[in-house]
Chain A
Amino acid sequence: MQNLLQSRSKKIRDPAGREVEVLEDSQALKIAAESGCSVHDVYVEALDLGIYPYRYVRNRETISREEQLRLSNARVAVVGAGGLGGQVILLLARVGVGRIVVVDYDRFDETNLNRQALSSQRAMGKSKAQEAVMVVGAINPGVIVTPHQVRIDPSNAKEVLKGSDVIVDALDNIPARFTIENASKSMGIPLVHGALAGLEGQLMTVFPDDPGIKRLYGNSVADGERSKSPEAVLGVPALMPSFIATLQATEVLKIILKRGRLFRNVMVHVDLESGEMNEFTFGD
C-alpha cells in the first residue's frame, strides 16, 4: 500500500503557505478498494507515512500529524446517541477519531428533532445507533462506527465497552450513568460525564480511581421521580446539549492526546442564560 499511497498523494500548500503531502478521498477510496482494506486503514497508513488525508489539513497545527495518527488509532465508546451523544459522535468523527462505538437501544421520534444532531425527518423510526453509522459514513469514511442497539445494563456493559480508550456518558438517566461508571472503573477506562436540563449543564471527567459521579448524585443510584426531574420539567433545547457535547469531545481529545487540563474531580457547571461557566470542587 505504501507505493500506492506515495504515487497517488500530491503536494499542496495549506492556507498558511506550508507545503503538505495530501491524499484526497477519491484516491483513498480507490486504494481501499484495490487493497481490500478499509478507508480507516488507508488513513492510518497514510498518516504513518507523513501523508495527510486531505480532509485533515485544516486540523493542522492544532492537531499535529502524530496526534492525528493517534486519534485515528483510538476507539471511543459513546453511550447514548441523543442530544449529547449525537453531537459528540459528529465532533469525534470530524476531528478524526478512528473507531466509535455507539450504544443506544432507542429509535428516533419527532420529539428528538428539537435537539438530537443525528435525527432528521428521514430517520424517523430508525435505530439511533444504526443511524450513527449512516450519518458518520456520509461525513468521514475513515471512521469505523460499531453500533450496539441495546439498553446498557450491568449484564452487558463490560462486553459492549471493553477495548475503548475513553467512554462518553451521554445518557439521559442516572441509574444507567452509574452502570457505565462502574464498568469503566472496573476496566480501567476514563469516563467523560455530561448531563443537562434547560439552559444548564454539567461535566466531569472520571478516571478509574476518582470518586466520580457519586459527587454529583450521592450514593443512591435510584432515579427518583423522573417526571419531576429538572430535564423533564424544563425540557432540553438544542443549545445546551451542543455546548456540553463540545466540552465532552474536547475532554476525549485531551485524554487520548495527553494534552491540556482535564476536568477531573470537579463539576463544571454551565448556565447559558447568565453566560457563566463555573468550576466547583469537592472536599475529601
Chain B
Amino acid sequence: MVLKVFLSSTLRQYVPGYNPSEGAEFSMNRKTTVSELCKLMNIPMAKIKIVMVNGKSEPFDYELQGDERVGLFPPVGGG
C-alpha cells in the first residue's frame, strides 16, 4: 500500500525533489506511526506543528494503515 505525504512550506526542503502537486509517495509493509514515518523521511518532528491524516488532525503516535493521505505543517505566522 502506498501512503501519500504532503509537506507544507519549509518542510519540503527535507525531501529532495518534492513535488507540491503530487506529494511524496511512501510504501509501508507494516503499520507505522506518524513519528516513525517522519524519522524514515528525515523530517525533524520539532519542525512540525500539525499532522493531518485524511483531513483530520492526529497526534504523532497515530498508527497509519498505509493508504492514507498525510499532511505535515510547520507553524505559519506571516501576515
Q: Which residues of A contact B (CB under 8 A)?
A: 80, 82-85, 170-174, 177, 194-198, 200-202, 215-218, 223-224, 228-234, 236, 241, 267, 269, 271, 273-275, 278-283
A195 to B8, CA, bound (A): 13
A-B contact pairs, 16 of them (CB 8 A): A171-B77, A174-B77, A194-B79, A200-B76, A216-B49, A216-B50, A217-B49, A218-B75, A230-B9, A230-B76, A231-B76, A232-B78, A271-B8, A274-B20, A280-B56, A283-B57
Complex contacts, A273 vs chain B, CB 8 Å:
20-21
Q: Which residue of A lies closest to B74 (CB)?
A: A230
B45 to chain A, nearest CB (A): 13
A283 to B57, CA, bound (A): 6
Contact A280 B20 (CB under 8 A): no
Q: Which residue of A lies closest to B8 (CB)?
A: A200
Per-position binary interface string of chain B over residues 19-54, scored 1 when its CB falls under 8 Å from any chain A CB and 0 otherwise: 011000000000000000000000000000110100
Complex contacts, A196 vs chain B, CB 8 Å:
76, 78-79
B16 to chain A, nearest CB (A): 17
Candidate in B56, B75, B76 with the most chain A CB atoms within 10 angstroms = B76
Contact A177 B76 (CB under 8 A): no
User: Is residue B10 within 8 Å, beta carbon to beta carbon, of the partner chain?
Assistant: yes
B53 to chain A, nearest CB (A): 10
Contact B79 A171 (CB under 8 A): yes
A239 to chain B, nearest CB (A): 13
Complex contacts, A85 vs chain B, CB 8 Å:
79
Complex contacts, B57 vs chain A, CB 8 Å:
215, 280-283
User: Is residue B55 within 8 Å, beta carbon to beta carbon, of the partner chain?
Assistant: yes
Contact A177 B52 (CB under 8 A): no
Complex contacts, B52 vs chain A, CB 8 Å:
280
User: Is residue B71 within 8 Å, beta carbon to beta carbon, of the partner chain?
Assistant: yes
Q: Which residue of B lies closest to A200 (CB)?
A: B9
User: Is residue B63 within 8 Å, beta carbon to beta carbon, of the partner chain?
Assistant: no
Interface of A is mostly: mixed
Complex contacts, B75 vs chain A, CB 8 Å:
174, 216-218, 224, 229-230
Contact A280 B71 (CB under 8 A): yes
A82 to B78, CA, bound (A): 10
Complex contacts, B21 vs chain A, CB 8 Å:
273-275
A172 to chain B, nearest CB (A): 4
A80 to B56, CA, bound (A): 30
Complex contacts, B56 vs chain A, CB 8 Å:
280-283
With A172-B78, A173-B77, A269-B73: A283-B55 Cβ-Cβ less than 8 Å: no
A161 to chain B, nearest CB (A): 17
User: Is residue B67 within 8 Å, beta carbon to beta carbon, of the partner chain?
Assistant: no
Candidate in B9, B21, B50, B77 with the most chain A CB atoms within 10 angstroms = B77
A181 to B78, CA, bound (A): 16
Contact A278 B55 (CB under 8 A): yes
B63 to chain A, nearest CB (A): 15
Complex contacts, B10 vs chain A, CB 8 Å:
197, 228, 230, 233-234
With A234-B9, A281-B57: A202-B71 Cβ-Cβ less than 8 Å: no
Q: A174-B77, A197-B78 are in contact. List 11 more A-B contacts (CB 8 A).
A: A172-B77, A172-B78, A174-B75, A224-B75, A229-B75, A230-B76, A241-B79, A267-B50, A269-B71, A275-B21, A281-B57
